[in-house]
Structure 1
Amino acid sequence: MLTLYHSPNSRSTSVVQLIEEMGIADKIRVETVTIPRQDGSGGADPNNPHPEKKVPYLVDGDDFVRERAAIILYLTDRFPESGLGRSVGDPQRGAYLSWLVWYQGVLEPVAILSWAQLSHPAITASLRDYDTAIQRLDEVLSRQPYLLGQEYSAADLLASGPFSWFGDQMPSTDAIKAWVARCVDRPAVKAVAAREGR
């Protein structure tokens, strides 16, 4: 059985939401662990096999997957019947992969750098800046309700997360706010939020 190492109200919450959304909770054991928190609470859990004691961390027999985009891709490929991913050969496979990696490699880093008020021309040249990332999202979401078009996908779950989590601390546009509202209005997201006390 697959095992997900998870700490409530952390980055791994999005993977728990995905598991709920996909209807595969009976196929994955969720092991709750502690992690060091920015407020000084928590701590490294010796029961967490992640080499840096972070979450999420997915174990599948002798194999493992870390980083949210990779875990989301792994699960949506492993359980394609959920319809939340795009399988190899699907005409939206490239777009799906691009949004997952764009979130992990562009949006999250530039959002953190913007929040920390760190800037350097090398960062902007390679990663872009927060305003450019928001502009890209707005261009897409002004034309369609979700990143891949008319249907919600795991890419929406991943990319909308920080906007719902941090609210107005993540400046956005009306189109992005409407998209986030649609994403957090899903029963799976609400169920996990209720369980985790958010």
Structure 2
Amino acid sequence: MILYHSPNSRSSTIVSLLHELGARDKVDVRVVSIPRQDGSGGRDAANPHPEGKVPYLVNGEDTVRERGAIVAYLCEAFPEAGLAPMPGEAKRGEFLSWLFYYQGVLEPVLVGHVAEVKHPAYYATFRDMKTLTARLTDALQGRDFLLGDRFSAADLLMFSPFGFFTQMTPDVPVIKDWVARCMARPSMAEVARWDAELLAQTL
């Protein structure tokens, strides 16, 4: 498998996942450039993603885009790591629900919040920060992680925006403690160090 990655981007989460899965040496991580919000970077001809984005996973003739899909795909490819309930196992539906919630609710709400989008149709579809905060607070009550006492790939994906943009973390103890537990994973420090090295090479 080949993973297309750009440092300090959404694909950093997937590189962290490879470490968590014990599969970092089993997937070829290829570094490409992407357009950045500050105007730097640009589309990389070496990146086969149809929109020039990352992450993008290629496995022979099969391709996977969107982080939630890539998380599910890799967890099924390396089930021995135990980072996700497999089909037929308990909490499989809960796990998948969080992956789709990230793509369909959490990220749109966060981007809308930053962009100051204010429209009834937007709120009716995606909800708002207050609703998102309440959903996470309720899910984490009495639990260390989203599925219970064990860290899963759902936590890695769901917490990722708060790991990058700490100022967006809701000021709620159970959420802040959850983010801190996820940030303390060794994979986070390892990928942050590698990303910093990659960025330094481009300066």
Task: Give the CA deviation at 1:191.
Answer: 0.8
2:179 and 2:85 map into 1 onto residues whose CA distance is: 21
For the 8 Å contact 1:33–1:48, the answer to whether it is kept is: yes
Q: Distance in 2 between matches of 1:22 and 1:190?
A: 15
Instruction: Say which SS state the counterpart of residue 4 (structure 1) adopts.
Output: strand
What RMSD in Å do the two structures reach over aligned CA positions? 1.1
Equivalent pair of 1:6/1:13 in contact (CA under 8 Å)? yes
Tell me the equivalent position of 1:124. Answer: 123
Name the TM-score, length of structure 2 as normaliser: 0.94
- Cα distance in 1, alignment partners of residues 168 and 124 from structure 2: 24
1:82 aligns with 2:81: yes
Partner of 1:27: 26
Amino acid at match of 1:69: G
Is the 1:111–1:170 Cα contact (8 Å) retained in structure 2?
no
* Paired position in structure 2 for 1:189: 188
Shift of 1:171: 3.2
Please state whether the residue corresponding to 2:57 is helix, strand or coil: strand
Q: Which moved more, 1:110-119 or 1:64-73?
A: 110-119
Deviations 1:84-114 (A, max 9, x none): 0110011110000001110111011001101
The alpha-carbon deviation at position 146 of structure 1 amounts to 0.3
- Listed one character per residue, the Cα deviations across residues 10-68 of structure 1 (whole Å, up to 9, x for unaligned) are 00000000001111012100000000000011000000000100000000001100000
Q: Any idea what SS the aligned residue of 2:147 has?
A: coil
5+ long unaligned stretches in structure 2:
198-203
Is contact 1:84–1:152 with CA below 8 Å preserved after alignment? yes
Distance 1:96 1:195 in 2: 28
TM-score with structure 1 setting the length? 0.97
Deviating above 6 A after TM superposition, structure 1's stretches of 4 or more consecutive aligned residues are none
User: Partner of 1:164 in structure 2?
Assistant: 163
- Calculate percent identity across the aligned residue pairs: 52
Aligned partner of residue 88 in structure 2, secondary structure: coil
* 1:98 and 2:97 are equivalent in the alignment: yes
Alignment size in residue pairs = 197
CA distance in 2 between counterparts of 1:187 and 1:171 reads 23
1:155 maps to what in 2? 154
